[in-house]
Amino acid sequence: VSMDLNSASTVVLQVLTQATSQDTAVLKPAEEQLKQWETQPGFYSVLLPPRDKKFGGLAFLFFKQGIVPSGRRVAPRALSEEEKSTLRAGLITNFNEPINQIATQIAVLIAKVARLDCPRQWPELIPTLIESVKVQDDLRQHRALLTFYHVTKTLASKRLAADRKLFYDLASGIYSFACSLWNHHTDTFLQQVSSGNETAVLSSLERTLLSLKVLRKLTVNGFVEPHKNMEVMGFLHGIFERLKQFLECSRNIGTDNVCRDRLEKTIILFTKVLLDFLDQHPFSFTPLIQRSLEFSVSYVFTDVGEGVTFERFIVQCMNLIKMIVKNYAYKPSKNFEDSSPETLEAHKIKMAFFTYPTLTEICRRLVSHYFLLTEEELTMWEEDPEGFTVEETGGDSWKYSLRPCTEVLFIDIFHEYNQTLTPVLLEMMQTLQGPTNVEDMNALLIKDAVYNAVGLAAYELFDSVDFDQWFKNQLIPELQVIHNRYKPLRRRVIWLIGQWISVKFKSDLRPMLYEAICNLLQDQDLVVRIETATTLKLTVDDFEFRTDQFLPYLETMFTLLFQLLQQVTECDTKMHVLHVLSCVIERVNMQIRPYVGCLVQYLPLLWKQSEEHNMLRCAILTTLIHLVQGLGADSKNVYPFLLPVIQLSTDVSQPPHVYLLEDGLELWLVTLENSPCITPELLRIFQNMSPLLELSSENLRTCFKIINGYIFLSSTEFLQTYAVGLCQSFCDLLKEITTEGQVQVLKVVENALKVNPVLGPQMFQPILPCVFRGIIEGERYPVVMSTYLGVMGRVLLQNASFFSSLLSEMAHKFNQEMDQLLGNMIEMWVDRMDNITQPERRKLSALALLSLLPSDNSVIQDKFCGIINISVEGLHDVMTEDSETGTYKDCMLMSHLEEPKVTEDEEPPTEQDKRKKMLALKDPVHTVSLQQFIYEKLKAQQELLGEQGFQSLMETVDTEIVTQLQEFLQGF
């Protein structure tokens, strides 16, 4: 690339073009060539002056990658400071790029470089830009202004204190210039606007917009205490006058005019300056509160806005009112004295503005004007009913859409001034008693709007409305008017009831509501049916829901909901109806069984149809989770569909797992918990587990529960098939996981040893040495030590031969005698017994150490005192006094006869709960009496050593402990 620039650029363009080829034979050599060139001085200079559109785009991309440090840890070559300096200078020599897209790309690139290098390595950037925006040449002036904006925007976004300080310095240095620049372009535009020269008007409007964007960033982010700066406050106060001028312009610039879009953008930008400033500097905004409220309220709630306002502007004005009403900085404490003077001043301005007449007018206008369903909405209702129901979504929609925005403003104002506004709304309700004439569409829409307000203000109206009476006497009759033109009210009333359910609704009235829901789920109008389903969900989800009241209607509702699920076609609506079905299934649990046949048949079809819609598939998974819980052991009948769904959702090699994994794992777990027996297919899905454990994500906990589910379900078959791989996964996990994670892994191992004492230790043999070592070395984390002792206790108590082979292996590793090592372990166990908090593990420790008796081994006899201490501690843990007989009994013992009573509110036991109960009946902790075990072991030791030998052994134990032991062993 040492040739002259012109010929070099031709060669480079050719290689760049090859580097975008789809053909690897062309692509690879081009990539290699570029890699070599990248490291040569002067290469980026060839890319810099883009000569034509195609070369510009390609060269530009490559240039950007080379000059702006990316996430690559090792850049091919760091550019020398000298070359960087040349490149920076080259970027801002002439702002004359004719193609808009490339001009924007260059501006963004300069901003990215500025983020790294300005002002320290690039002090000349801002002065050059300021000079360039003054030139007379239209193109150069525009491109410089575009760059000026992107640079300001990027520098304003930096968050470190030192960078903020640099930006404050920059802002105070150039603010006056930015203001005069903006004023100049704005005045030019306002003079030209009536000239009829559209090109000139558009050009000056574009400059007005760009210079205002610069000012917005400087004003909002450039000052610590903006209210102390005369120019900043002057600019902000001036916005209202400018806004009026621009809104007046919009009278004459119709929607078909080329300038219309830019004009609306500029008007919105003015409101954004005010909103951003209020958000960042609430107290600096205080002097603007009065003007902002007067301005917004006059344009939105009086005739001033006639003919000039447009939807997005109304939304912004309403948001401005809302942000002032709701601003925490302006809310005094309960004790006025505790509030800051700034808060009290703002509060005073607000109170002076929101007088009774102003508030009532805003409230009336919101309800009787903005809440009315529009022509467009009614048309959409007819032509796209599902689109109409999805339209009104939550989240941040109030920031952009008119209906959610008006509703949120109403809620906030009503909440803030409810004592003033409650009588106003009640009076509106009073005038609407009785049914409305179906011919009078306007009256129907007014009533719809008032009911909307009563629903939104439910929490505030709690004490003022006797909802139960109103429900019986007014709302139920409204729902019985089946005329087609009455459907807006049927929909609104059932929605309204949904809003009040959790606020105030007498339980005895539920059956009357269920009756109404059954009727409305058969309404001829789809929107009404969908809204009814939503209210049903709210009813079923409510705290005071009672299953017994609901069961008589269950079959009808379930059938109608299922029909609705089939009737709707949009993905979002299907998800919504599925969600309602899920809630119903979850609430009635086992009672759903007779009615789910149709749903079970339909879901495979829906799953197949929703291949492209992962969110709908998530909804199906959630439904299946509740369905399996409802079906219990009968869920085995749906395995042909269920298991492939789990298989796909939890397979990390399949792309959909990104969306489906979490719900898929939950479904897998629930399926295991409710499975009556293992099947080959259910066992086969476990092949998905190893990659899931490698991910070691937040889903690990569920994975461990799934593994336990398999151990409970069929430990022998499961361990024989998968334990080797699982053990390897566990060993890998233990190396890199947190302490809590290690405990979770070891709990699974402990569970396997408990359920299958013969096979468990063999299968998890590679993990046991590190557990043993942890005990010997006195693991410092109590929770980990407790788990180690739990694992080792199981091996020692339930598989003594395996324990002795492990001991022999460890003695070899530690280069010690077996007896000596055993003694060390017992000593550590006795010493760290207090780390164990779970009663089961404490009893297990006592049983395990006692199982070493009787013994004539001198080491065990040496530790006899410790073993007895632990045993007596264990007795204190588990023995409870029988008040009738005055004797002690082991409270951990379980018998076959005890059937736990399931009360009304409790879930019936799952298949897994039953399995755990059966396993507990084989577990020494629950079947062996500790009292009896100690007695037998001591008796055997006495027989082994003879009376005298035993007596001298007992003398090593503290007399207080011996006394307690004798007390516990009375009667033996």
Q: Do 577 and 443 share a structural domain? A: yes
Rg (CA), the chain: 39
Question: In sequence order, which ranges of 589-638 are alpha helices (DSSP H)?
Answer: 597-609, 614-631
Q: List the CATH number of the domain containing 487.
A: 1.25.10
Number of other CB atoms surrounding residue 777 within 10 Å: 10
Token pair in block for residue 273: 């300056």
Note whether residue 540 is domain-resident: yes
Q: Do 430 and 512 share a structural domain? A: yes
Note whether residue 393 is domain-resident: no
Q: Please, which pLDDT band fits residue 683 given cuts at 50, 70 and 90?
A: very high
Q: Do 484 and 588 share a structural domain? A: yes
Question: Are 578 and 543 spatial neighbours (Cβ–Cβ below 8 Å)?
Answer: no
Q: pLDDT value at position 73?
A: 37
Q: DSSP string covering 750-811, please?
A: HHHHHH-TTHHHHHTGGGHHHHHHHHHTT-S-HHHHHHHHHHHHHHHHH-HHHHHHHHHHHH
What is the Cα–Cα distance from 812 to 814, expressed in whole angstroms? Answer: 6
Residue 643 has pLDDT above 80, yes or no: yes
Note whether residue 561 is domain-resident: yes
Q: Please, which pLDDT band fits residue 185 given cuts at 50, 70 and 90?
A: very high
- Please state the rounded mean pLDDT for residues 187-206: 87
Q: Please, which pLDDT band fits residue 846 given cuts at 50, 70 and 90?
A: very high
Three-state SS at 880: strand
What is the Cα–Cα distance from 148 to 811, expressed in whole angstroms? Answer: 75
Residue 754 has pLDDT above 80, yes or no: yes
What is the Cα–Cα distance from 496 to 538, expressed in whole angstroms? Answer: 11
Q: Please, which pLDDT band fits residue 443 given cuts at 50, 70 and 90?
A: very high
- Please state the rounded mean pLDDT for residues 511-519: 96
The number of angstroms, rounded, from the C-alpha of 407 to the middle of its chain's C-alpha atoms is: 25
Q: pLDDT value at position 127?
A: 81
Q: pLDDT value at position 47?
A: 65
CA pseudo-torsion sign 640, 641, 642, 644: positive
Give the CA angle between residues 855, 858, 864 to the nearest 5°: 65
Rounded percentage of the chain residues whose pLDDT exceeds 70: 93
Three-state SS at 888: strand
Note the pLDDT tens digit of each residue in 467-498: 999 999 999 999 999 999 999 999 999 999 99
Q: DSSP string covering 441-498, please?
A: HHHHHHHHHHHHHHHHTTTTTTTT--HHHHIIIIIHHHHT---GGGHHHHHHHHHHHH
Note whether residue 581 is domain-resident: yes
With 0-12 / 13-18 / 19 or more C-beta atoms within 10 angstroms meaning exposed / middle / buried, residue 188 is: middle
Q: Do 587 and 604 share a structural domain? A: no
Question: Are 718 and 709 spatial neighbours (Cβ–Cβ below 8 Å)?
Answer: no
Q: pLDDT value at position 15?
A: 79
Q: Do 584 and 454 share a structural domain? A: yes
Token pair in block for residue 263: 């004009």
What is the Cα–Cα distance from 905 to 884, expressed in whole angstroms? Answer: 32
What is the Cα–Cα distance from 798 to 812, expressed in whole angstroms? Answer: 23
Residue 639 has pLDDT above 80, yes or no: yes
- Please state the rounded mean pLDDT for residues 410-428: 94
Q: Do 649 and 558 share a structural domain? A: no
Q: Which of 688, 705, 725 is the last residue of a domain?
A: 688
Q: Which of 554, 577, 592 is the last residue of a domain?
A: 592
What is the Cα–Cα distance from 459 to 599, expressed in whole angstroms? Answer: 37
Note whether residue 132 is domain-resident: no
- Please state the rounded mean pLDDT for residues 240-244: 95
Q: Do 639 and 728 share a structural domain? A: no
CA neighbours within 13 Å on the CB side: how many for 457?
30
What mean pLDDT is reported for the chain? 88
Residue 407 has pLDDT above 80, yes or no: yes
Of 35-39, 46-50, 512-516, 651-655, give the range with the top mean pLDDT. 512-516
Count of domains for the chain = 4
Q: Do 747 and 619 share a structural domain? A: no
Q: pLDDT value at position 70?
A: 46
Q: pLDDT value at position 71?
A: 38
Q: Which of 18-27, 53-62, 852-861 has the lowest mean pLDDT?
A: 53-62
- Please state the rounded mean pLDDT for residues 841-848: 95
Domain interval for residue 612: 598-688
Question: Are 205 and 259 spatial neighbours (Cβ–Cβ below 8 Å)?
Answer: yes
Which residues are CB-contacts of 942 (< 8 A; sequence separation ≥ 6)?
Answer: 950
What is the Cα–Cα distance from 166 to 169, expressed in whole angstroms? Answer: 5
Counting DSSP H helices and E strands in the chain, the numbers are: 48, 2
Q: Please, which pLDDT band fits residue 13 given cuts at 50, 70 and 90?
A: confident
Residue 275 has pLDDT above 90, yes or no: yes
Q: pLDDT value at position 906?
A: 65
State phi, psi for 696 to the nearest 5 degrees.
Answer: 35, 55
- Nearest 10 degrees: CA dihedral of 222, 226, 228, 234? 100
Q: Which of 782, 810, 837 is the last residue of a domain?
A: 837
Q: Identify the CA nearest to 332 among candidates 342, 322, 324.
A: 342
Q: Do 727 and 616 share a structural domain? A: no
Note whether residue 501 is domain-resident: yes
Q: Do 642 and 505 share a structural domain? A: no
Question: In sequence order, which ranges of 253-285 are alpha helices (DSSP H)?
Answer: 260-280
For helices 839-850 and 864-878, give the axis angle rounded to 10 degrees.
140
Q: Which of 21-25, 218-222, 913-917 has the lowest mean pLDDT?
A: 21-25
- Please state the rounded mean pLDDT for residues 387-397: 75
Q: Do 646 and 768 share a structural domain? A: no
Q: Which of 58-72, 97-111, 940-954 has the lowest mean pLDDT?
A: 58-72
Q: Identify the CA nearest to 503 among candidates 461, 534, 444, 473.
A: 461
- Please state the rounded mean pLDDT for residues 247-254: 87
Residue 644 has pLDDT above 90, yes or no: yes
Note whether residue 375 is domain-resident: no
Task: Report the run of H or E that residue 890 belongs to, with start and end.
Answer: strand 888-890
Beta-bridge partners for 881: 888
Note whether residue 852 is domain-resident: no
Tell which wins on pLDDT, 773 or 899.
773
What is the Cα–Cα distance from 698 to 399, expressed in whole angstroms? Answer: 33
Residue located via tokens 């000569």: 51
Q: pLDDT value at position 236?
A: 96
- Nearest 10 degrees: CA dihedral of 607, 609, 615, 621? -10
Residue 77 has pLDDT above 60, yes or no: no
DSSP class of residue 723?
H
Q: Do 726 and 584 share a structural domain? A: no
Note the pLDDT tens digit of each residue in 314-349: 999 999 999 999 999 999 988 878 889 999 999 999
Q: Identify the CA nearest to 492 among candidates 393, 398, 371.
A: 371
Question: Are 105 and 60 spatial neighbours (Cβ–Cβ below 8 Å)?
Answer: yes
Question: Are 748 and 708 spatial neighbours (Cβ–Cβ below 8 Å)?
Answer: yes
Rounded percentage of the chain residues whose pLDDT exceeds 90: 64
Tell which wins on pLDDT, 503 or 5.
503
Residue 648 has pLDDT above 70, yes or no: yes
Q: Please, which pLDDT band fits residue 898 given cuts at 50, 70 and 90?
A: low
What is the Cα–Cα distance from 393 to 401, expressed in whole angstroms? Answer: 10
Number of other CB atoms surrounding residue 780 within 10 Å: 9
Q: pLDDT value at position 883?
A: 75
Residue 803 has pLDDT above 80, yes or no: yes
Q: pLDDT value at position 681?
A: 95
Give the CA angle between residues 648, 650, 652 to the nearest 5°: 95
